[in-house]
Amino acid sequence: MEVVSLFQVVPEGTVASPQGFQAGGLHCGLKKTSRNDLGAIYCEVPATAAAVYTTNAFQAAPLKVTRESIASNGRLRAVVVNSGNANACTGRQGEADAYAMRAAAADAFGLAASEVAVASTGVIGELLPMDRVVGGIVGLPAALAAGDEGADQFAQAILTTDLVKKESCVTLTVDGHEVTIAGAAKGSGMIHPNMATMLAFVTTDAVISQQALQGLLGQTTDVTFNMITVDGDTSTNDMLIAMASGLAGNTELAPGHPDWDSFAAAFRHVCQTLAQAIARDGEGATRLVEVTVSGAVTDQSARAIAKTVIGSSLVKSAMFGADANWGRIIAAVGRAGEPVNPDTVDIKLGDIPVLIGSQPVAFDEEQALAYLQGDTVVIHVELHYGAGQATAWGCDLTYDYVRINAAYRT
Amino acid sequence: MEVVSLFQVVPEGTVASPQGFQAGGLHCGLKKTSRNDLGAIYCEVPATAAAVYTTNAFQAAPLKVTRESIASNGRLRAVVVNSGNANACTGRQGEADAYAMRAAAADAFGLAASEVAVASTGVIGELLPMDRVVGGIVGLPAALAAGDEGADQFAQAILTTDLVKKESCVTLTVDGHEVTIAGAAKGSGMIHPNMATMLAFVTTDAVISQQALQGLLGQTTDVTFNMITVDGDTSTNDMLIAMASGLAGNTELAPGHPDWDSFAAAFRHVCQTLAQAIARDGEGATRLVEVTVSGAVTDQSARAIAKTVIGSSLVKSAMFGADANWGRIIAAVGRAGEPVNPDTVDIKLGDIPVLIGSQPVAFDEEQALAYLQGDTVVIHVELHYGAGQATAWGCDLTYDYVRINAAYRT
């Protein structure tokens, strides 16, 4: 990423790194194991808030409640999240439970209900055991341990079948003020976001208008979270919330601000890092697969093609087997329904050309095998048909994906 | 199928059952094992022919050649098919090879080149070993053993990772004449047809105009072959060819003929039976999954929803695990991008209601488990939103799908 010099990556940073934010997590009994299943991000001042939500027609109850909170005045003080139960397709009781979860959190933190967002992830169609949830929420203020330990507990609390927590943090300078942007996310299965990923939270201490934050969030989502897929299934619970405390003291960011491009690049870095981490930790995945498409008629066309290739079960299985089976890649390109010239396609696996001008190229199978056995594989597709380009991220399809999902609920 | 009384199923029938047709197969050395890999259907008179082809942008060379043959005068005498090599993405040499394959077959059978269709299925991107193909074609006329034994050899010859051959045959009466319709198909992987399935061949001795046959083939494909999916990947080689010898002696069939509806129903039965057989024998599959959608705004909308559900990796994994995880079903309905009322959806697994009015229904888990462990599972989705309906067929996602596709080429 050539813009990386516009900001600095903070390897150990967390959602609690930006000024004003705390986070914490605990176990309230939604997961059968003792792993954390309830968490919160808290801001000591009202944070400018923006969000994007799943486009699935069956949006889960917490999305409705969070949407109402943000709509009230564009600000949030806290987000409360549970894992282990999605509170989706739970009807009127589920809606009442999401409101009750918000009310309990408002009580616990001494906030107005409209300052609280709620999110849930886990099994669809089961009612939340509200006694456990409310009991857990009472303990959340105490769980907001200062700094990164609390944020680590939060990042653990939002996971379901994820194996690793996903965090990202960068700093940059905005008219002389140090600004921090951080994020945490969970993913793993039912990952094929359309407007937002499963659950992701971005915090920053920048001063930024709500309109600018919402606009940036939408644009960034299109090229980060909306470009990953684990299994092609778009969740009912996808939600991405961004909160800006404004404590960095910079002049208000909006398009046109001299540091806007730097801020946008830094914001995108955080989102992209989280999106890649979700793809790499897809259910059962053994490696991250990146697909770049260039030479499409438009960026939008390139995105459609990249997502078709990254979502192909046959390509994903070949990646698991470290098999340089480019025939499946070009077949996926060809079924994307986008304009291509059948005679001008180049495909490379990393730096290894396997197809030039739509004709097979002899390549060293041993070299290809060694490359495909790595923990990150990049598939380059050059269409020579226009100037559109895109990148998508996904993972391989493995025995473990089937094992996890053949026995998830029971 | 309430129209089944319009025709009779012939359980042991083959593509050689209709008057005028013979078929045969042999091993010419394209497959590493001794299984058949080359076959032909031959008609003793010029048969009225129609075909539908994949919509993949990268159509394999044999499709171009077959399209030319049928375009020349709408008639075919022979179809030659190889398995083990798709002759796809093989450039100008691949095209030359497809023409050479057609020429060799025309020589062997004493026909004009334009009376011969060719089809290939197997690995993408490798050149056909033409010495073996041509050597095999020379032996095809002798392999056309009379009757069902030859047709059985043909049905074997077109398989790749398929486990069982797929055949269907029915008879009906058309203005006093017995008419037979039969078909053979192969499927298994890269199955998500869009205009035609992997490879399928339908023969009949009916007298039917080319235009009527082509029209019927297109309509029937939309509700049969185009409604199955194994892995969401649309092949470069999908082709469905129908041949009518006309030897039954009926007055020419076309819409308006008194027996047209019977013929169309019988034709659909053959195609649907083959399509279901492809879904049931999907790579690694342990069971056939059928999804019926009713109450959609239109049939087209119902088809889109049914195909989204049947294609969901999460639904497919749950079916492998016999897990009544209806949350994944409704999530798939919700991401299909079609109009639905989020509050009025009913879902049944066989006869077991699990969701009514979008609200979970208590059900007997033991009963559901027993049902889902059967070899055919039907998922009913009723949207209560319109009059559109559709049925789609697929299979479960299993360890064996991953095993087969992680090591297919190497």
- Contact indicator for B235, B191 with CB cutoff of 8 Å: yes
Rounded CA separation B38/B26 (Å)? 6
Q: What is the pLDDT of residue B4?
A: 46
B405 is in an annotated binding site: yes
- Contact indicator for B369, B399 with CB cutoff of 8 Å: no
In a mutational test of the B interface, the residue from A85, A309, A402 whose CB has the highest number of chain B CBs within 10 Å is A402
For the annotated catalytic residues of B, the residue numbers are 197
C-alpha dist (Å) from residue A123 to A57, A240, A349, B330: 17, 19, 37, 12
In a mutational test of the B interface, the residue from A341, A377, A396, A405 whose CB has the highest number of chain B CBs within 10 Å is A405
Q: Work out the pLDDT band at A187, boundaries 50, 70, 90.
A: confident
What is the distance in angstroms between the Cα of A264 and the nearest Cα belonging to chain B? 29
A353 has a chain B CB within 8 A of its CB: no
User: Does pLDDT of A140 surpass 60?
Assistant: yes
What is the distance in angstroms between the Cα of A172 and the nearest Cα belonging to chain B? 38
Q: What is the pLDDT of residue B406?
A: 84
Q: Which helix (H) or strand (E) holds A108?
A: helix A91-109
B386 has a chain A CB within 8 A of its CB: no
Q: Considering only the beta carbons, identify the residue of B90, B234, B401 that sits closest to A335.
A: B234
In a mutational test of the A interface, the residue from B309, B405, B408 whose CB has the highest number of chain A CBs within 10 Å is B405
B373 has a chain A CB within 8 A of its CB: no
3-class DSSP assignment, residue B398:
coil
| DSSP letter, residue B286 | S
User: Does pLDDT of A383 surpass 50?
Assistant: yes
What is the distance in angstroms between the Cα of A42 and the nearest Cα belonging to chain B? 31
Rg (alpha carbons) of chain B, rounded to whole number:
21
Rounded CA separation A260/A266 (Å)? 10
Domain boundaries along the sequence of chain B: 2-280, 288-406
Q: What is the pLDDT of residue A165?
A: 87
A331-358 pLDDT, tens per residue? 899 889 899 998 999 999 999 999 999 9
Rounded CA separation B242/B184 (Å)? 11
Q: What is the pLDDT of residue A2?
A: 44
Which CATH code for domain B288-406?
Answer: 3.10.20.340
Structure tokens at A366: 């041993």
Q: Which residues of A71-100 are buried (b: 16+ CB within 10 A; e: fewer)?
A: eeebbbbbbbbbbbbbbbbbbeebbebbbb
What is the distance in angstroms between the Cα of A387 and the nearest Cα belonging to chain B? 19
- What number of C-beta contacts closer than 8 Å exist between A and B? 221
Name the β-bridge partners of B307: none
User: Does pLDDT of A32 surpass 90?
Assistant: no
Rounded CA separation A92/B318 (Å)? 27
B164 has a chain A CB within 8 A of its CB: no
Helix-then-strand count for chain B, H and E: 11, 15
A141-158 pLDDT, tens per residue? 999 976 789 999 999 999
Structure tokens at A257: 């601000």
Q: Considering only the beta carbons, identify the residue of A90, A321, A331 that sits closest to B233.
A: A331
Ranges of chain B whose pLDDT falls below 70: 1-5, 146, 189-198, 408-410
ipTM: 0.78
B284 torsion bin: left (phi>0), alpha (psi -120 to 50), beta (else)? left
A362 has a chain B CB within 8 A of its CB: no
Q: What is the pLDDT of residue A341?
A: 92
Is there a contact between A59 and B342 if contact means CB atoms under 8 Å apart?
A: yes
Q: Return the half-sphere exposure (C-beta side, CA atoms, 13 A cut-off) of residue A194.
A: 20
Q: Considering only the beta carbons, identify the residue of B56, B86, B407 that sits closest to A335.
A: B56
Q: Considering only the beta carbons, identify the residue of A192, A314, A342 that sits closest to B57.
A: A342
Q: Work out the pLDDT band at A193, boundaries 50, 70, 90.
A: low
What is the distance in angstroms between the Cα of B36 and the nearest Cα belonging to chain A? 23
Share of chain A above pLDDT 90, in %: 67
Q: Work out the pLDDT band at A4, boundaries 50, 70, 90.
A: very low
What fold, for B2-280? L-amino peptidase D-ALA esterase/amidase (3.60.70)
Across residues A104-112, what is the average pLDDT?
98
Is there a contact between A90 and B360 if contact means CB atoms under 8 Å apart?
A: yes
A190 has a chain B CB within 8 A of its CB: yes
C-alpha dist (Å) from residue B68 to B51, B61, B65, B74, B118: 11, 11, 5, 10, 11
Across residues A4-13, what is the average pLDDT?
83
Across residues A249-272, what is the average pLDDT?
92
Rounded CA separation B374/B377 (Å)? 7
Per the model's pLDDT, the better-predicted residue between A186 and B309 turns out to be B309
Q: What is the pLDDT of residue B227?
A: 84
Chain A's closest residue to B346, CA to CA, is A89
Q: DSSP 3-state helix, strand, coil percentages of chain B (rounded to 5)?
A: 35, 25, 35
In the chain, the amino acid numbered A181 is I
Structure tokens at B176: 């006093």
Chain A's closest residue to B237, CA to CA, is A331
Chain B's closest residue to A328, CA to CA, is B124
B186 is in an annotated binding site: yes
Q: Work out the pLDDT band at A192, boundaries 50, 70, 90.
A: low
Q: Work out the pLDDT band at A127, boundaries 50, 70, 90.
A: very high
What fold, for A7-280? L-amino peptidase D-ALA esterase/amidase (3.60.70)
Chain B's closest residue to A190, CA to CA, is B314
B88 has a chain A CB within 8 A of its CB: yes
- Contact indicator for A259, A173 with CB cutoff of 8 Å: yes
